[in-house]
C-alpha cells in the first residue's frame, strides 16, 4: 500500500480547516456581540463624541481641530478611535469597487459589519467581488436590498427609472434602504476620498451625519487613488477587476461608463447628466 500523501487532498483538508476556524471565530464574535449589545446612545451624546473626535483627529486648519494639532490622524488611527468610542455599533459601507476600507477596519475590528447596497443593477464583477470579500476576509457582509425589487419598481414607476429620473431611482434603491439599516448603528465608516471629486474635497475625518442621525467617519479621506492601490497591492486586498478595465469609480451598470485617460475619475458616473452623486454622501 502506498504511503505517499495526495497533495490535492492535503490542500483540500487545509482549506476545510481554514473554513472551520473562520466560521468558529465568526460565531464566537457574534455571541460576544449579542452578550454586549446595548441601546444606541442619544444624538446629543453622539454629537459630543464627534466634537471630541474632531479635536483629536483633525490636523491644523480644520474646523474644530485642537489648537495644538500638528497633523491629521492616519486611517488606522481614525478606525482605532472609532473602535474605542463605539465598540460594536460600527458599520462599514462598501460598494465593492475594492475591499481596502473593509481591510483597514477589519485589521482593528475583525468581523465588523460590511454593508453592501444590492441595488439589483450591479455589474457581475461587483457581485463577484462581494462574494470574494465574504469568503476571503474576516468581515460580516450585510446585504441591503431596496424595498422593491427591480421588477416591482418597473411596475410602479415604469421600466428603467434610472434613464428618466436617476435621482428618484437612487433615492429608492440606495438612500432609503441605507437610511433604514443605519438606524441600528452609532457610526458608519465610508471610503470617501477628497480627491475623488470637487464635491468631496472638504470631506472631514469625522462628522455628524444629520440626514441619517449617526456619526460618519471617512478614514481614507486624505488618500489618493495611487495610495489606495498601493495599500491593496501591499496587503493583497481584493479589487473589482473593472478597476483595471477603465472604471476608476464603479456604480450601477446602467449609470457607469468607462473613463478616458486624464478624465475625472467619477466622469463615468451618470455621464451626460448634471447628477454627480447618488445622495449617500452629499
Annotated binding site for [4Fe-4S] cluster: 169-170, 252, 255
In angstroms, rounded to a whole number, what is the distance separating the alpha carbons of residues 193 and 215?
17
Q: Is 144 in the site for ligand SF4 (CB under 6 A)?
A: no
Nearest alpha carbon to residue 188 among 223, 221, 215: 215
278 is catalytic: yes
Does residue 99 contact residue 238 with C-beta atoms inside 8 Å? Answer: yes
CB of 246 to ligand SF4, least distance (A): 18
- Exactly one of 54, 89, 95, 119 binds ligand SF4 (CB under 6 A); that residue is 119
CB of 56 to ligand SF4, least distance (A): 35
Q: Is 166 in the site for ligand SF4 (CB under 6 A)?
A: yes
> What does the DSSP 8-state code read for residue 274?
S
Q: Is 252 in the site for ligand SF4 (CB under 6 A)?
A: yes
Binding residues: 169-170, 252, 255
Q: Is 170 in the site for ligand SF4 (CB under 6 A)?
A: yes
CB of 220 to ligand SF4, least distance (A): 21
Q: Is 266 in the site for ligand SF4 (CB under 6 A)?
A: no
Between the alpha carbon of residue 170 and those of residues 91, 154, 167, 210, 252, the distances in Å are: 20, 14, 5, 19, 10
Site for ligand SF4 in 181-220 (CB under 6 A): none
Q: Is 169 in the site for ligand SF4 (CB under 6 A)?
A: yes
Q: Is 242 in the site for ligand SF4 (CB under 6 A)?
A: no
Does residue 113 contact residue 142 with C-beta atoms inside 8 Å? Answer: yes
Q: Is 128 in the site for ligand SF4 (CB under 6 A)?
A: no
Does residue 274 contact residue 165 with C-beta atoms inside 8 Å? Answer: no
For 131, the grid coordinates are 462574494
CB of 222 to ligand SF4, least distance (A): 26
Sign, Cα dihedral of 105, 107, 108, 111: positive
- Which residues have C-beta within 8 Å of that of residue 60, sequence separation ≥ 6? 69, 70, 71
Q: What residues make contact with ligand SF4 under the rule CB under 6 A?
A: 119, 121, 162, 166, 169-170, 173-174, 251-252, 254-255, 278
Active-site positions read 278
Amino acid at each position: 500500500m502506498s504511503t505517499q500523501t495526495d497533495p490535492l487532498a492535503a490542500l483540500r483538508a487545509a482549506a476545510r480547516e481554514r473554513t472551520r476556524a473562520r466560521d468558529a471565530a465568526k460565531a464566537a464574535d457574534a455571541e460576544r456581540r449579542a452578550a454586549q449589545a446595548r441601546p444606541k446612545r442619544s444624538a446629543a451624546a453622539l454629537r459630543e463624541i464627534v466634537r471630541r473626535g474632531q479635536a483629536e483627529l483633525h490636523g491644523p486648519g480644520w474646523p474644530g481641530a485642537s489648537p495644538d494639532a500638528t497633523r491629521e490622524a492616519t486611517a488606522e488611527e481614525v478606525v482605532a478611535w472609532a473602535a474605542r468610542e463605539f465598540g460594536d455599533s460600527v458599520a462599514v459601507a462598501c460598494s465593492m469597487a475594492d475591499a481596502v476600507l473593509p481591510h483597514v477596519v477589519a485589521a482593528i475590528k475583525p468581523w465588523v459589519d460590511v454593508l453592501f447596497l444590492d441595488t439589483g443593477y450591479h455589474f457581475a464583477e461587483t457581485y463577484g467581488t462581494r462574494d470574494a470579500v465574504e469568503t476571503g476576509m474576516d468581515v460580516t457582509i450585510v446585504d441591503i436590498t431596496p424595498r422593491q425589487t427591480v421588477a416591482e419598481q418597473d411596475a410602479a414607476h415604469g421600466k428603467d427609472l434610472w434613464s428618466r429620473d436617476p435621482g428618484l431611482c437612487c433615492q429608492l434603491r440606495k438612500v432609503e434602504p441605507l437610511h433604514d439599516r443605519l438606524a441600528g448603528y452609532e457610526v458608519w465608516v465610508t471610503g470617501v476620498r477628497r480627491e475623488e471629486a470637487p464635491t468631496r474635497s472638504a470631506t472631514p475625518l469625522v462628522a455628524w451625519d444629520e440626514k441619517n442621525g449617526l456619526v460618519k467617519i471617512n478614514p481614507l479621506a486624505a488618500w489618493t487613488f495611487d495610495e489606495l492601490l498601493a495599500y491593496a497591492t501591499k496587503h493583497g486586498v481584493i479589487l473589482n477587476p473593472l478597476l483595471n478595465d477603465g472604471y476608476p469609480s464603479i456604480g450601477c451598470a446602467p449609470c457607469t461608463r468607462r473613463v478616458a485617460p486624464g478624465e475625472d475619475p467619477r466622469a463615468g458616473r451618470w455621464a451626460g447628466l448634471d447628477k454627480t452623486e447618488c445622495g449617500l454622501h452629499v
